[in-house]
A and B are shown apart, each in its own frame.
Chain A
């Protein structure tokens, strides 16, 4: 289980895969892209910074790994990180706990973007992820409309454990979208990307079922449950809406004035 791994595992793994990483800027962007494009469960929270999405914990954890003898850090034109023998052994142990699907996602991101120069990487991330708040608001309204449409389409499903899961999770997403008021474009983009991805899965399922949505509750929902966990984690992490199953949730959080 990735959730049981130390938060810094992606730093070690990226170095294990690439051997060496030049510049904190690149390390930050590789992990950011693995989280966003590879949907890798990386726990670092990125915020908007002068140089694009940034998480100060990454640099702090790299320093910690250096102090533990797992990585070398040297300063040239920027920070240079590489793995020590001790770090390679540690990473070899960590890898056993990382599901293959996740390792492959990280590998693909690193292989894709490690050939980019710093300028190319920066431009790419800026263009793709540093949209204006207005653009994100537009996207948010589209997602609210999408969830409204799905909730309407599924409203006549007979009550069952799965059908209430489908309706309940879509309603949670819609409530989160209506309540969110993030002004950090990186966080806002992340939230919309995760919720949008979740809603899109139902759109995909609906297309597959070609209008026979009454069959939807028969579809095993284990993988949807994992995705919904991620939606709740993001909403809770960014203070948009507490996790649905949080013991301390006040039910009024789920009520919307419409």
Chain B
């Protein structure tokens, strides 16, 4: 986390939630193996503990949780299981595939941890309906960057045809601004344009999880 400020509340993007919850100890051939996103799971846990210790409330919006449950968990598990290091950890050759049943188990365990997280007293899921003008302003901001080399590179990296991020991401920015709460994220849709978003007052603040 490249920030040490104290906040009353902080908004979590999907990734910090996924990294926090993708943290499993499993039995494998009688030994215990630890499944986590190296680098990010620990960071997310440490950040979260830092905010809890400082009596901050951690929030996200319902749409983020919904997206996580529909696609986010599956995506992180799929990517993790396609990684050569994970195959090494499990003890299968890199040309083999990790069994789908194993992936499903990791999905279920991650979903269970998300359910537990939602119940924590320091974590809130907000039912938020953004103002459509705010969303349009954010969309126009990203659109205005379309011809810039920075955005062209960004769009190529994201393999996307439009410069603006998902509806949920734009809602999160609007929520951050409306509630004076920084967003914790490592999503390049936010972090690559952190300074611009902040100077245009389209969000309160972006805190990078890196």
Contacts and interface: CB of A to CB of B under 8 A. Distances in A.
Contacts of B92: 255
B30 A172 contact: no
Interface string A66-87: 0000000000000000000000
B78 interface: yes
Given A164-B74, A251-B90, A151 B105 contact: no
A256 interface: yes
A91 interface: no
Given A159-B78, A160-B71, A254-B99, A167 B104 contact: yes
Given A249-B27, A250-B29, A251-B26, A167 B69 contact: no
A257 B48 CA distance: 41
A171 B27 contact: no
Interface string B81-119: 000000000101000000111111101100100000000
A250 B71 CA distance: 26
B104 A251 contact: no
B100 A251 contact: no
Interface string B21-34: 00000111110010
A245 B78 contact: no
A250 B100 contact: no
A164 B104 contact: yes
Contacts of A115: none
A35 interface: no
B100 A170 contact: yes
Given A171-B100, A175-B101, A248-B27, 10 more contacts: A160-B71, A164-B107, A168-B102, A168-B104, A250-B29, A251-B26, A251-B102, A252-B29, A255-B99, A255-B102
25 contacts: A159-B74, A159-B78, A160-B74, A161-B69, A161-B70, A164-B74, A164-B78, A164-B103, A165-B104, A167-B100, A168-B105, A168-B107, A171-B99, A171-B104, A172-B101, A175-B101, A244-B108, A245-B108, A249-B105, A250-B29, A250-B30, A251-B26, A254-B105, A255-B92, A255-B99
